Structure formats: C-alpha cells, structure tokens
Amino acid sequence: MNSSSKILMGFIMGACGIRGGMRFKSYGESPKDLKSYKVFQDQTGCQQLKIIQILPYKENIITLYLEGITTRSQAEALRGMSLYIDHTQLKKLSKDEFYYHDLEGLIVRNEENCVIGQVKTVVSYGADSMLGVCLLEDPSSEILIPFRKEFVKAVNQQEKYIILDTDYVQAFLDLKGQS
C-alpha cells in the first residue's frame, strides 16, 4: 500500500483492561463502522491488524480488540500507533458525497473560472465541514469556507477543481483586505 492510497482512521491511545483491549481515537464519523473494514495497517504497511471486537466508550473513542493482542503489555506496546486502511476499502459514495481526503489538493476557482487558491485541509465542526483554502495571492494564509451548496457551486474530482460562489469569495476577500 503506497502512502497516497492510505487513509488514516485513528490512533491507539493506550491499553484498557488486562485482556488486550485498547482505547482508540477514531477520526471517522461512526467508530462502530470500523468493524466493516477487513484489514488495518500501521504507517509502514508492514503490520496488518484485524479487529475482532469494538465496544463503545464515548463519542469518537472506542475500546478496540485486535486479533493476536491478548495481554495488557501487548496492547500498551501499540500506544500511539496510527491505523490506516487502503482507500479501496472505502464504500462508494453518491454523486454529491465526498471523502475529505479527496477534496484536499483541489484547485479552487470562482464562477468566472479564475483560480483563487487550493484546498489545503477539510475539517468538521459538527454542523458544517469547512474547506481550508490557501489563497493564490497569499499562500501563507488560509481561509475557511463552509462546505455548503450556497458557497460551493460545483466539485469536479476528475478535473480536480472546486467552484465557489463569486459574490461570497469577493465579499470575503474585500473583508480580508480591510483587516
């Protein structure tokens, strides 16, 4: 699995109990969905791991049991390990759904097709997801754009661009210029 095909799912926070359980911080929407993935790998891709049980703990933290990890010391040895899946394990999405990692790196244009920047990050703030866009005119700055239909007019993953509402972009840039 090469690095571009790996999707970070979360990391092992530490051991839990005496039978190899681990607290796991999941970066996905629903931690219980982790059970649907066949194989996890560490960052190097050398170690393959299979989930045998998931128990709820709180929000995006679960108690995780992995095949072959049966003692507290084995679990503690995995503390801090990030777990990845190959992108081919992700479910297919409908036309108007996107995985965050697929949006990162896309070119950002306005409705007149002028390039204004590039998506650097995508973050979820509960009710809304936000696109972190590095502006072409100032690559060191990042602006946050709500990922909502009234602001994001189109996403073309094949041609790797996003179209933003021109009026919104201009108003934002005008405000930024005044500060």
For residue range 21-40, what is the model confidence (pLDDT) as tens digits? Answer: 999 999 877 777 788 888 89
Name the DSSP letter for residue 128. -
125: confidence class by pLDDT, cuts 50, 70, 90: confident
**CA–CA distance, 178 with 114 (Å, rounded to integer):** 22
Name the DSSP letter for residue 159. T
**Whole-prediction pTM value?**
0.66
Q: CB under 8 Å, gap of 24 or more: what pairs does 16-20 form?
A: 16/63, 16/75, 17/63, 17/72, 18/71, 18/72, 19/65, 19/70, 19/71, 19/72, 20/65, 20/66, 20/69, 20/70, 20/71, 20/72, 20/74, 20/75
CATH superfamily of 3-89: RimM (2.40.30.60)
Instruction: Choose the weakest-confidence range: 136-140, 160-164, 170-174.
Output: 170-174
pLDDT for 2: 46
Q: Are 48 and 41 in contact, with CB atoms under 8 Å apart?
A: yes
Q: Span 142-170, mean pLDDT?
A: 90
| Residue limits of CATH 2.40.30.60 in the chain | 3-89
| Residue limits of CATH 2.30.30.240 in the chain | 100-178
1: confidence class by pLDDT, cuts 50, 70, 90: very low
Q: Are 135 and 141 in contact, with CB atoms under 8 Å apart?
A: yes
59: confidence class by pLDDT, cuts 50, 70, 90: confident
- Assigned architecture for domain 100-178: Roll (2.30)
pLDDT for 175: 66
Q: Are 106 and 160 in contact, with CB atoms under 8 Å apart?
A: yes
